[in-house]
Structure 1
Amino acid sequence: MRRERFDKMNVVPFIDIVLVLLVIVLATATFVTNQTINVDLPTASSKKAEEKKSVAIAVDKEGKYYYDKEQLSLELIREKLLKLDPKKDLISLHMDKSSQFQYFVDIIDILKTKGFENISIITKK
């Protein structure tokens, strides 16, 4: 039996596979960029604005605690944080890089006890 020479390569299956992969990439790329569903919300007469508080807590290198630029003790900060709504209010932590890690742990422990969900740790680039 005689073998045929392999002179030509059939690239049609390769082109089919590349086109299918291209369609998949384009379909997922448009889905990833448009993660929201556009909905025209109805209006109501009894509109109540959500009151979200943004609270800044800072600790300097000496271990002094500040609640919205007002120096307070850790116990007073604990009392004020326990009065906030953990699901709505935003807490931002400003820690001095040379402060002890224990100060950070103390604040995080208070926030964890109350169950805060919106916590941001402020850093610089």
Structure 2
Amino acid sequence: MEEKEVSYINVIPFVDIMLVLLTIVLTTSTFIATGGIAVQLPKASARSAETARVQTIEIDKSGAIFFKGARTTLEGLRATLLPLDRATPFIIRADRELALQDFVDVLDMVKASGFAKASLQTERR
């Protein structure tokens, strides 16, 4: 018996791979669109320790520093931060027209006081 030459390409494995890739793309796009996997967290009878509340330091365009809505100086802010837990996160809200040195002075003082979590709040364009 004589062997026949194959005159066509077998596309079944290609279709299988494409269906698997389509499934992966659709599954991951669902997670991206919803923001994550919906999980109902378990409940515990005992309360855990309160998480550290974020503290906000605001600096207006004239360089005035505000902490918890009250105007303060750099030295006054240093004294106010002394009793706080060193794990407390800080958000620094600085005016866009503020001199960079004023922002750096406040950030440097927060870091020098032993606080490791400090960030700058910005807006989207």
Question: What is the TM-score with the length of structure 1 in the denominator?
Answer: 0.69
Cα distance, 1:120–1:90 mapped onto 2, change above 3 Å: farther
In structure 1, what is the Cα distance between the partners aligned to 2:19 and 2:71?
Answer: 63
Question: What is the TM-score with the length of structure 2 in the denominator?
Answer: 0.69
In structure 1, what is the Cα distance between the partners aligned to 2:27 and 2:70?
Answer: 52
Structure 2 match to 1:74: 74
Structure 1 match to 2:42: 40
Cα distance, 1:30–1:118 mapped onto 2, change above 3 Å: farther
Give the paired residue count.
Answer: 118
Secondary structure of the corresponding residue to residue 111 of structure 2: helix
In structure 2, what is the Cα distance between the partners aligned to 1:76 and 1:49?
Answer: 29
Q: CA deviation at 1:119?
A: 3.6
Structure 1 match to 2:99: 100
- In the alignment, structure 1 segments of 5+ residues that lack a partner are none
Structure 2 match to 1:21: 21
In structure 2, what is the Cα distance between the partners aligned to 1:124 and 1:13?
Answer: 46
Cα distance, 1:42–1:62 mapped onto 2, change above 3 Å: closer
Runs of 4+ off more than 3 Å: 3-6, 23-32, 36-39, 51-54, 122-125
Structure 2 match to 1:109: 108
Q: Does the CA contact (< 8 Å) of 1:93 and 1:122 recur in 2?
A: no
Matched, 1:60 2:54: no
Q: CA deviation at 1:103?
A: 1.1
CA RMSD of aligned residues (A): 3.2
In structure 1, what is the Cα distance between the partners aligned to 2:55 and 2:98?
Answer: 20
- In the alignment, structure 2 segments of 5+ residues that lack a partner are none
